[in-house]
Structures are given as C-alpha cells and as structure tokens.
Amino acid sequence: MLYYRDMSGQDWFLFILTFITGVMAGMYVYILSFKPTYIPDDLNSNEDVAAEFSVVGKVYGGQVSNGYISPSFRITADGSYAYVPGGEGSDALEPVSGKLPNGLFRDVVSATDKNTLINSSEPINKESCRSYSDGLDYQYRIVLDNNQYEVDTCRTTLSYDAELALVLDAVWNYLANPDSSYGGQGGQSQSVGGTPADRATEFIRKHLSPYTE
C-alpha cells in the first residue's frame, strides 16, 4: 500500500529550486551548444545565393578555450550589418546591428568586384599562415550578382596585403570600435586599441592562453 503526505514547505522549496536549476542548466547548454554562433547558419543557401550583394566574415585561429566564440559579421546590399562580437559567455552571442559609414561601405563594394573575387577565391595551400602560429586568419563568403565566392586569408589566394583584405580588416576594426575613424581607400583606419587581430590576440593572451603568467 502506498502512502501519500502533503508536501511541506521544505519539499516545495526543493522542488522549486530543482526546477530553477534545470531551467538555468538548459539555458547554459543552449547558449554554448545550440544557439547559432555564426550568422550565416541562420540563412539557408537559397537566401544567400539569391542575394544581390552580401559579405559574411568569420575569424579563426589563435589559442582559444572550448567555450570561446569567434567573431563574425554579415553585411547586406544596403550597407546594414549584423555583428557577433565573440568571446566567452552569453554576451559573446548578442548580435549588434547598424549601418557601415558610407565611405567604408563604398570601399567594400569597390573592393569586391567580380575579377577580384575570382582571383582571390582560388584554393591554395600556403606555406605560411598567421593561424599556423596561433595568429588569426579570416574567411569570407561573398555574394555578388547571385554568384557566391569563398575567400580566405589562408586557404585561398587572398593575400594579407590585398586591397580586399585590407578593406575587410577595416570593417572588423569599425565593428569592434564604432567610434574609430576610417582613413579611406585601402582599408586604413585609426582607433584606440589597434587592429582586430591585435585586440583578439591580446584577449587570447590575457584570458585564454595556457602560457599566460
């Protein structure tokens, strides 16, 4: 025979505490495992290919922990952007949206002409890449006139000092520092804190590197 008894105040407290703990644990797993960490994952291939113009970028490389989220962005044909700042924790996945400065967006459009994209998207095995020595590389997916191009500072013929790479580096710089000033064609920009690669490397050195003192 089973016996039942009314739940005491302590029983209710344990029940509610267990429920809250379960909810919090579920949110943590969702943030780290299921919430998209790369803006393009929210878009299906038809939407991307059908776009008149878009640029998607992502950082990779460096010494990072398992919980680190790489920064990424997506720029659309009207100059609007969505930017995921990256880092660790829930704030790393909170997107920031806005519009690029007119001059910077014009240079992005100018640097992403068809011939440049064709020449920069050829796969290549480079002997030396920054990501080989815990530095940072960048991969981009660019849609122009319904054609999609994959360019990468390490895996394709896009060089670090190419106009396209420099202009896109200026985009990273602006997104990380919206108060920075853009110096014009060629991707030169000025801001406190250095380039995106400098800041990311410093963050990794201070917070994530096992060799940090």
Domains of the chain: 39-208 (3.30.1560)
The contacts of residue 158 (CB under 8 Å, 6+ apart) are 120, 121, 140, 151, 152, 164, 165
Name the DSSP letter for residue 89.
S
Q: Is 184 helix (H, G, I), strand (E, B) or coil?
A: coil
pLDDT band at 128 (very low <50, low <70, confident <90, very high): very high
- Mean pLDDT score of the chain: 75
∠ CA 126-129-134, rounded to 5°:
150
Q: Structure pTM?
A: 0.64
Q: Is the pLDDT of residue 105 over 80?
A: yes
Q: Is the pLDDT of residue 45 over 50?
A: no
Chain centroid offset of residue 13 CA: 42
